[in-house]
Structure 1
Amino acid sequence: MAKKVCAVTGGRGFMARHLVAALLRSGEWSVRITDLAPVAALEPEEKEGLLGAALRDGIAVYASADVCDLALLTKAFEGVDVVFHTAAADPVNNSFKLHYKVNVEGTKNVIDACKTCKVKRLIYTSSSAVVFDGVHGLFGVDESIPYPDKFPDAYTQTKAEAEKLVKKANDTNELLTCCIRPGTIFGPGDILVPYIVSYARTMFIIGDGKNSDDFVYVENVVNGHICAERTLTTKSGAARSGGKAYFITNMEPMNMWRFIYIVLEELGFKRRIKIKIPAYLLKPIARVLGWNYNKLSSIYGVRPKFWLTSVTIKYLTLNRTFSCNNAIEQLGYQPIVSLKEGIKITTESYKSMRYAH
């Protein structure tokens, strides 16, 4: 039986690597991985593992393609049935020009290339932050909540604009679309755990410490994408979910600082009493100076930077939790890895990579 063909833009990114692996493990897909680098530089474990074998056997193919280059994208999408569009600009870089070029114009190119190549389905990796204004907390909100009038940063503003384009493109040129809005993603190879480790060097909580977040293990985000794609393959599913966006979380909202403490304890850090500093005291300092917690040795081949800015303070002090009821009912989504299990897997992976370096 011939395998279905899909393309994954930004295919060497954190979540995308897990998505590619899941698609290959299923045995149903031939995967075209697109990203910026001229060649796919594999980690040693990837060379010896599933991805390396798939590339050698031609089940996976790497194509160097910038989403800002329509011609390259169109070439990469030839013969593709489904596109998983995960490519995005780095959220840490708050350049509106960069984010607009990659997130908005790049997504428009992806849509145009899909139409030209007669791609059947487009699944877009959006963000739960597209409904966050940085002023008001979000508690158990569903997809009926509108986009805010003003966004806290360039990343969320342009991700929202891109999401609108994908939703609007549904059912045009026989293309069906769906958007996935993950909560705060973590998992092996993430940048969240290195940031949390850098936080362990501090002695304070920002705000009252009572805010909750909706963390989501990376394999559950992958599952959300696969559920969306599968839903669009049926006539009823396409009518129900085409052109819609869905929140995807672990459905285990947790106090954000408690999550941080659990991760640190799993990594062997001693729990300390934390001083609480009101956000209003930090904001003016952070706005002027920025605070760089660049204390870590190189991990995952990069030196992670965490700038405590007036923008990031908003994410650290407000509630941000989301309802997945629509994803459950309409996509058949369920988390496949619990929060506790996900933290254990992630911290064990972090420790093994740290010792390897």
Structure 2
Amino acid sequence: MACAVVTGGRGFLGRHLVHKLLESGKWEVVRIMDLAAGLAVDADEEKALSAALESGRAQYAGVDLRNLPQVIQALEHATVVFHMAAPDSSISDWKLHHSVNVIGTRNVIEACIEQGVHKLIYTSSPSVVFDYINGVKDADESLAYPAKLMDSYSETKAQAEALVLDANGRHGLATCAIRPSGLFGPGDRLFLPSIVAAARAGKLKFQIGSGDNKFDWTYVENVVHAHVCAEEALVDASGVAAGKAYFITNCEPVKFWEFLSEFLERLGYPRPQYQLPVALVLPLACIAEWACKQLAPLGVPMTQFTPARIRYMSLWRTFSCDRAATLLKYKPLYTVEEGIQRTVTSFQHLRASPAAGGDGKSAARWWWMVLVAVVLLAVFFQRFLHEVA
């Protein structure tokens, strides 16, 4: 029986892949794995997915990846596993990221071997080679993992990717890793909603850095296509495509802030009007992150205003897809412009109202935080100079 399993199948990318696998007609069964005990079908996917569930072509398994027996049972009769499940990258929780990304991936590998799965395709991230200090331009897969990664998500994704690639050839299992950069598209619950929320709160009046830094954004259907290409290319563990990682992009690097501004403008929000130098903002982010860590025992949540975020928005981050093009036969199906149009059309509910001008209270609160950070920075340097003197 041809059975494809998608872990994290109710996530942004997972939903798109499940739809594509069902649409292809290649698979007798597409099994959706996710953490929730049951499956709630959304209105926009009701017709196709409900029909597939009723016919048995789609199945759902509520599984905690950290529970090996559950994972083994869920992979019964599987031919290929698309391992996409991962916690939200914006959550600062090393224990959570390690338990799901590392232990969960190790369990998926062991379950694949136990159940005789032929192929394992892991959804990794370009962040596994990005140290958030140095920009990268047209990097290829020869770029090694950094000695130190800036956040727990990137660190644990790198560990998980290494486990998957090392597992290639074990008991006939063929593996590879897909590294999609800057995912966007309809159904996104993180990137565009957070950008709109920031614009509505008046937090996107400023651009961080010169704005010349280019970034590789990738439309979601192109990432789905890359996974399909990988499955077709993984003939066996000894094949040229197996045991390797692949950068996946739209092959159209664009300026980071120009890309964000396109979405803002098309949804009726103003573009960033002012420019803040990285040299000014970065120390403030360091202080904000440090303060949150110190106050964490008191219940203060971790700020999103971190040095890693500032560098993410201000450094070059582009990658070469030559390996994917050669070994997986990957070629983007949609341009960046087509992706933007399709995404904006699907997010009309986030369009600005005619009188939208930002939440004054939220903006004022944010600027008070910046002012406090500036004062703390001044005090810090005063103490530093005093100690030096």
Q: TM-score, normalised by structure 2?
A: 0.83
The answer to whether structure 1 residue 345 and structure 2 residue 309 are counterparts is no
Structure 2 counterpart of 1:36, one-letter code: L
Partner of 2:212: 210
What is the correspondence of 1:233-272 to structure 2 with a 5 Å cutoff?
233=235, 238-271=238-271
Q: Map of 1:1-357 to 2, 5 A cutoff? A: 4-29=2-27, 30-47=29-46, 49-190=47-188, 191-200=190-199, 201=202, 202-233=204-235, 238-271=238-271, 274-289=273-288, 307-352=304-349
Q: Deviation per CA, 1:18-57: give whole Å up to 9, x if none.
A: 000000010111211010101011112222x211111111
Partner of 2:372: none
Displacement of 1:85 in angstroms is 0.1
CA RMSD of aligned residues (A): 1.7
Amino acid at match of 1:213: F
How many residue pairs were aligned? 335
| Mapped contact 1:195–1:306 kept (Cα < 8 A) | no
Q: Deviations over 1:124-153 (max 9, x none)?
A: 000011110011000001001111111111
Q: Partners in 2 of 1:306 and 1:327 — Cα distance?
A: 36
**SS of residue in 1 equivalent to 2:146:** coil
Mapped to 1, the partners of 2:303 and 2:38 lie a distance apart of: 29
Following TM superposition, by how much is the alpha carbon of 1:353 offset from its aligned partner in structure 2, in angstroms? 6.9
Shift of 1:352: 4.6
Extract structure 1 runs of 4+ deviating beyond 4 A.
352-355
* Aligned residue type for 1:334: K
In structure 2, the gaps of 5 or more residues are 290-301, 353-389
Bigger share in helix: 2
- In structure 2, C-alpha distance between the alignment counterparts of 1:50 and 1:184, rounded to whole Å: 28
Asked if structure 2 preserves the Cα contact closer than 8 Å seen for 1:232 and 1:238, the reply is no
Distance 1:103 1:306 in 2: 22
Larger radius of gyration: 2
State the alpha-carbon separation in 1 of the partners of residues 240 and 205 from structure 2.
49
Distance (whole Å) between structure 1 residues aligned to residue 44 and residue 132 of structure 2 = 39
Contact 2:267/2:350 (CA < 8 Å) preserved in 1?
A: no
- Mapped partners of 1:270, 1:116: distance in 2: 54
Contact between 2:164 and 2:177, CA under 8 Å: does it hold in 1?
yes
Aligned counterparts of 1:318 and 1:354: Cα–Cα separation in 2: 29
Equivalents in 1 of 2:144, 2:170: separation in Å? 24
Cα contact 1:88–1:103 (8 A) shared by 2: yes
CA distance in 1, matches of 2:208, 2:81: 40
TM-score (normalised: structure 1): 0.90
Letter in 1 for 2:117: V
1:117 shift after superposition: 0.3
Structure 1 residue runs without a partner (length 5+): 291-304
Partners of 1:231 and 1:238 within 8 A in 2: no
| Counterpart position of 2:376 | none
Task: Calculate percent identity across the aligned residue pairs.
Answer: 47
SS of the equivalent of 2:81 reads: strand
